[in-house]
């Protein structure tokens, strides 16, 4: 077993729903795992879609992330294997909805996830955290626990408005809770080559953020939408489709940025 000290932890965040955040968390995790990297996918969204999307059920009564937050279980007892070699999951379910209320009275409540994950960091190359579509306490915990934030976003003008708010939240977390936090990159998702607006918004984002925008874009792809219903990542479901190839490119690009390729 490869032991890696201090795994790189990336939180995927966007308070706007439907931007491909969970899809990216699942498929980027799979792409990195298939490259031989040991990856932990942390499902910190009460919807639990990242868990079910990689074939992990949470209806079996076994402990999950909620139990780590409320102090009943160590994270190690909640880990589940996925169907992909090297990819491990820390799952969640709707129970996680209660965490934000239960954390209110806890000291250092924003640092709870960081403490949960700390004993696991020497076992993985990458830890990817999927957050809910909000800027609530679960997302703040994700930002506080992470080394960097990856922001998936659609090429539409409403996405630009939400981006400013997310970046401001990231700055506040960096200033008060996590001085080392930085933006890993912005990822353009659901990219439609036939849509003029897509090109206009993409150009505006690249002009403003430059190298912080990943060169890889994720296209609109029916197969990407289908794969979670089969409990599979796109790299298991249809590795030859455009969506799968895009996530493989994204994995390679992230590894190059991390100087691990």
Place of tokens 């909000």: 134
Give 238: exposed, middle or buried? Use CB within 10 Å, 0-12, 13-18, 19+.
Answer: middle
Cα-Cα end-to-end distance for the chain: 20
Eight-state DSSP code of residue 86: T
Give 45: exposed, middle or buried? Use CB within 10 Å, 0-12, 13-18, 19+.
Answer: buried
Q: How far is CA 153 from CA 28, 55, 95, 106, in A?
A: 15, 25, 27, 33
Hey, is 221 helix, strand or coil? coil
List the CATH code of the domain at 8-256: 3.40.50.300
Hey, is 129 helix, strand or coil? strand
Hey, is 10 helix, strand or coil? strand
pLDDT (tens place) for every residue of the chain, 261 residues total: 444 457 999 999 999 888 999 999 999 999 999 999 999 999 999 999 999 999 998 888 899 999 999 987 899 999 999 999 999 999 999 999 999 888 888 889 999 999 999 999 999 999 999 999 999 999 999 999 999 999 999 887 777 777 888 999 999 999 999 999 999 999 999 988 788 778 888 888 888 899 999 999 999 999 999 999 999 999 999 999 999 999 999 999 999 988 765
- Nearest-Å Rg of the Cα atoms of the chain is 17
Q: Strands 126-130, 213-219: parallel, antiparallel or unpaired by DSSP?
A: unpaired
Hey, is 214 helix, strand or coil? strand
Q: How far is CA 162 from CA 102, 201, 246, in A?
A: 27, 14, 24
| Model pLDDT, residue 260 | 62
| Model pLDDT, residue 71 | 82
| Model pLDDT, residue 5 | 52
From the DSSP assignment, how many helices (H) and strands (E) are in the chain? 11, 8
Hey, is 190 helix, strand or coil? strand
| Model pLDDT, residue 249 | 98
| Model pLDDT, residue 4 | 43
- Asked if 204 and 154 touch (Cβ cutoff 8 Å), the reply is no
Q: Among residues 209, 218, 223, which one has the least CA distance to residue 251?
A: 218
Contacts of 41 (CB under 8 A, 6+ apart): 25, 26, 29, 50, 54, 82, 87, 88, 89, 90, 128, 130
| Model pLDDT, residue 72 | 79
């Amino acid at each position: 077993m490869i032991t890696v000290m201090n795994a790189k932890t990336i939180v995927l965040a966007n308070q706007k729903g439907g931007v491909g955040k969970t899809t990216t968390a699942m498929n980027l995790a799979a792409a990195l795992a298939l490259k031989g990297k040991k990856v932990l996918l942390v499902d910190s969204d009460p919807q639990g879609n990242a868990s079910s999307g990689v074939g992990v059920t949470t209806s079996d009564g076994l402990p999950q992330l909620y139990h780590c937050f409320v102090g009943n279980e160590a994270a190690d007892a909640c880990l589940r294997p996925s169907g992909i070699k090297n990819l491990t999951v820390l799952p969640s379910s709707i129970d996680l909805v209660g965490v934000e209320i239960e954390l209110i009275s806890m000291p250092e409540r924003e640092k709870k996830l960081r403490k949960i994950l700390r004993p696991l960091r020497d076992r993985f190359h990458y830890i990817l955290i999927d957050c809910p579509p909000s800027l609530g306490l679960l997302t703040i915990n994700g930002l506080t626990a992470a080394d960097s934030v990856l922001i998936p976003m659609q090429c539409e003008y409403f996405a630009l408005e939400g981006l400013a708010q997310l970046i401001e939240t990231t700055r506040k977390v960096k200033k008060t809770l996590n001085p080392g936090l930085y933006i890993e990159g912005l990822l353009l998702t659901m990219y439609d080559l036939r849509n003029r607006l897509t090109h206009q918004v993409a150009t505006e984002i690249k002009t403003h953020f430059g190298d912080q925008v990943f060169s890889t874009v994720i296209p609109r792809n029916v197969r990407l939408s289908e794969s979670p219903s089969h409990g599979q990542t796109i790299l298991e479901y249809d590795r030859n489709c455009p969506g799968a190839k895009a996530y493989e490119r994204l994995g390679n690009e992230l590894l190059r940025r991390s100087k691990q390729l």
